[in-house]
Structure 1
Amino acid sequence: FLLRTTSQPLADDKYAMFGKTLLSVAGLFRGGRLFWSSASRLGLLTIIMKLFFCPLMISWAITGATAVSKFPDTLSWNILSVSFYLTQIFLLIDTSIFAFGYLVESNALKSEIRSIEPTLLGWVVCLVCYPPFNSFAFRPFECIDFRVTSAYPAQIYVAASVLMTALWGVFAWASVALGFKASNLTNRGIVAKGPYRFSRHPAYTAKLMIWFIQFLVFGQLTLGLFIAFLVVYGMRAWTEERHLARDPAYQAYQKQVRWKCLPGVF
């Protein structure tokens, strides 16, 4: 699951140092010592992260590509159908970019993983957003079972669908901006282009706005689930910033881009 080129000295190479740790385990039976270093830890956590996310993103990208390839034969040329089609394309763009990001590290592409989320909380709030954890992690919030059931004029539903599609476009734009550096829980260099010029968390903001529309207009989410998503993604943003702020480049970026979510608001 790893394609990689690097110019790092061997002592700083996280995978080489984790390999050295594994070799030292055998030496314990001969009275040796376990080798462990910060590079070993980074190597271990990076491998765990890749083992979790690589299969997910690759399978989603393949499934998305298959679905998108069939759409031209079944597409109805109306606003709702086209919006759905574009949404699937945007999701395919996102998963394809992230699949590549998890698979490939390259010094030439400036996509080396420099550090990884150091706290259990940061890992938990990230992983609960993905299968299999998201199938049960949000169930306690379903006790707040309020759901909007108001009927709106047809124009409202059309406008909401178009807005959601545009927000999925922003979501995909954020992934394109990350490019080769796309992956969760990591610092692979600070990105300050695309929508990251205006907001430090454009993808999370787009998702939360989509879920708010699904709750308020379409009644597809309960109030409890929307609150859960708001809390979890808020914590994801907070833990990510706490991690990335160890990098002076991110501290400079925070001064450059003031807004965490919506420019001019928050």
Structure 2
Amino acid sequence: MSEAAAPPRPARPASAVGHGVGLAGLAGSLAWLGFAWHRHLDGPYAALTHLVAVAVPMILWSLLVDRVHRNPSTGIDWANVRKPRETLDISLTKLAGFWATFAGIALVYMTFRFYWQGSFAFAMWCLGWLAPVLFLGSIPYVLWLDRRLVEPRDGAWMLGAWLTGQKGFAWPAIHAHLRAWGVKTFFLAFMLGVVPGGFAAFVDGDLPTLMRDPVALANWLITLMFLIDVAFATVGYMLTMRPLDAHIRSANPYAAAWMAALICYPPTILMTDGGPLDYRPGTAPWSHWFAGHPVVLAAIGAVLVALTAIYAWATVAFGLRFSNLTHRGILTHGPYAVSRHPAYLSKNIFWWIATVPVLSTGSWGDAMRSTLLLGVVSGIYYWRAKTEERHLSADPAYRDYDDWMARYGLVPRFFRWVSGRG
């Protein structure tokens, strides 16, 4: 008697984003970085041009190849365009809501001094130039879009209706609108601020010299990975637009999720130098402990570069849709076919290898303290992952993906094997 055949493995749930859009942006990124490196263009304008080189190919691919503007999830009905007078009152109310939101964001930036210091000062300079464009551009954009939206009375309209004393607004929609723009307010300033960081270090890298030093080469390639990651992330925060199907479906409504995320980024970061979760005192970089062993240095450097590449790949896979604390479509391809949280996993493994907290230049107490604090940091990222899963689980598409990953995902299966659960 023959054994019964195993049931076929079900296909992985479809991804809201295809491979092509991220690859198009990556091609644009590498082309510009290669040109800037060849010509030694290391200034802030060259760093900002990197964003354009990433964004334009992704926009063109999304519209011309993937035709995302035709997706039902955009909420746009291209076949039934209303006459301008039918939506004019709606659009004016929505513009009032948008402009009130912009004014609130400006007030936040103007109130807190840290937004005008350090890397944030560059972000404020960029946003100062963008503000008039955003204000004026919102008029034709809203007037044009509302004629095509199935339901133009969104959160911005709700806020405008409340401000202008109209009926029909709903507080949950207003809260959702404010959460979404709160995400953009916090993270876009940070992302724009770090855009120039590392750009000059990469562009000024001398390859023949780097090839003779495995540590310098690894750090240079790690810088390249971070430049790509930052560019994709910044573009993702800027292009939250319905015609690109890259709008925010929902911002995480749970306070725990916001707490877990905000303590990982400036200005509220707890892991910074001198912060309560600073695990670096008493430690030395990985290159210190293995100095004089070039083969070991090259091997560790290669691992760290690979981990950073996975981290950057996890951002590239989003295409135009990267954003913390939001739902902008469920990803199931690329590194997300292996792990639910490839960026968090690769980032934390990187920190443990690069820091080697169990070794200390001070005392055993310093080593224990660093190890404990880095463990707490990793625990915070586990907390972040769980709060994100809780938010996304409201979408049936994510529940299907989560179920598939639990059964067939490589990383979940590995952890089950390690824990002896299957």
Q: Which category describes the TM-score, using the shorter chain as reference length?
A: 0.7 to 0.9
Residue 347 of structure 2 is aligned to residue 207 of structure 1: yes
In structure 2, the residue matched to 1:179 is 319
User: Does the C-alpha gap of structure 1 residues 74 and 199 become closer, same or farther in structure 2, counting only changes over 3 Å?
Assistant: same
Give the Cα separation in 1 of the matches to 2:317 and 2:402.
17
Residue 260 of structure 2 is aligned to residue 125 of structure 1: yes
Which residue, out of 35, 40, 45, partners 2:174?
40
Check the 8 A contact 1:90/1:169 in 2, yes or no: yes
User: Does the C-alpha gap of structure 1 residues 98 and 145 become closer, same or farther in structure 2, counting only changes over 3 Å?
Assistant: closer
Q: SS where residue 195 of structure 1 aligns?
A: helix
User: In terms of mean alpha carbon deviation, does 148-157 or 77-86 score higher?
Assistant: 148-157
Check the 8 A contact 1:54/1:103 in 2, yes or no: yes
In structure 1, the residue matched to 2:152 is 10
User: Does the C-alpha gap of structure 1 residues 143 and 9 become closer, same or farther in structure 2, counting only changes over 3 Å?
Assistant: closer
User: Does the C-alpha gap of structure 1 residues 189 and 151 become closer, same or farther in structure 2, counting only changes over 3 Å?
Assistant: closer
Q: SS where residue 378 of structure 2 aligns?
A: helix
Spell out, residue by residue over 1:96-131, the C-alpha distance to the aligned partner (whole angstroms, 9 max, x if none): 111111111223322111111111110010000001
User: Does the C-alpha gap of structure 1 residues 135 and 166 become closer, same or farther in structure 2, counting only changes over 3 Å?
Assistant: same
In structure 2, the residue matched to 1:70 is 204
Give the Cα separation in 2 of the matches to 1:106 and 1:56.
20
Q: SS where residue 318 of structure 2 aligns?
A: helix
- Counterpart mapping for 1:182-197 below 5 A: 182-197=322-337
Give the Cα separation in 1 of the matches to 2:275 and 2:311.
26
Q: SS where residue 10 of structure 1 aligns?
A: coil
Question: What's the % identity of the aligned pairs?
Answer: 30
Deviation at 1:16, TM superposition (A): 2.6
- Counterpart mapping for 1:1-266 below 5 A: 7=149, 9-11=151-153, 13-21=154-162, 23-24=163-164, 27=165, 35-72=169-206, 76-77=210-211, 78-135=213-270, 139-141=275-277, 151-152=289-290, 154=293, 155-216=295-356, 219=359, 222-258=370-406, 262-266=411-415
Unaligned runs of 5+ in 2: 1-126, 128-133, 361-366, 416-422
Give the Cα separation in 2 of the matches to 1:55 and 1:243.
24
Spell out, residue by residue over 1:59-99, the C-alpha distance to the aligned partner (whole angstroms, 9 max, x if none): 21222333322224895223222211111111111111111
Unaligned runs of 5+ in 1: none
Question: 1:20 is aligned with what amino acid?
Answer: A
Deviation at 1:133, TM superposition (A): 1.7
Give the Cα separation in 1 of the matches to 2:208 and 2:279.
38
User: In terms of mean alpha carbon deviation, does 130-139 or 205-214 score higher?
Assistant: 130-139
Name the TM-score, length of structure 2 as normaliser.
0.54
Give the Cα separation in 1 of the matches to 2:306 and 2:280.
29
Give the Cα separation in 2 of the matches to 1:17 and 1:261.
44
Give the Cα separation in 2 of the matches to 1:127 and 1:143.
18
Aligned residue pairs, count: 258
Query: Considering only CA atoms, is the larger Rg found in Structure 1 or Structure 2?
Result: 2
User: Does the C-alpha gap of structure 1 residues 72 and 147 become closer, same or farther in structure 2, counting only changes over 3 Å?
Assistant: closer
User: In terms of mean alpha carbon deviation, does 244-253 or 139-148 score higher?
Assistant: 139-148
Spell out, residue by residue over 1:147-182, the C-alpha distance to the aligned partner (whole angstroms, 9 max, x if none): 689955723333222101100000001001011110
User: Does the C-alpha gap of structure 1 residues 135 and 122 become closer, same or farther in structure 2, counting only changes over 3 Å?
Assistant: closer
CA RMSD across the alignment:
3.3
Name the TM-score, length of structure 1 as normaliser.
0.84
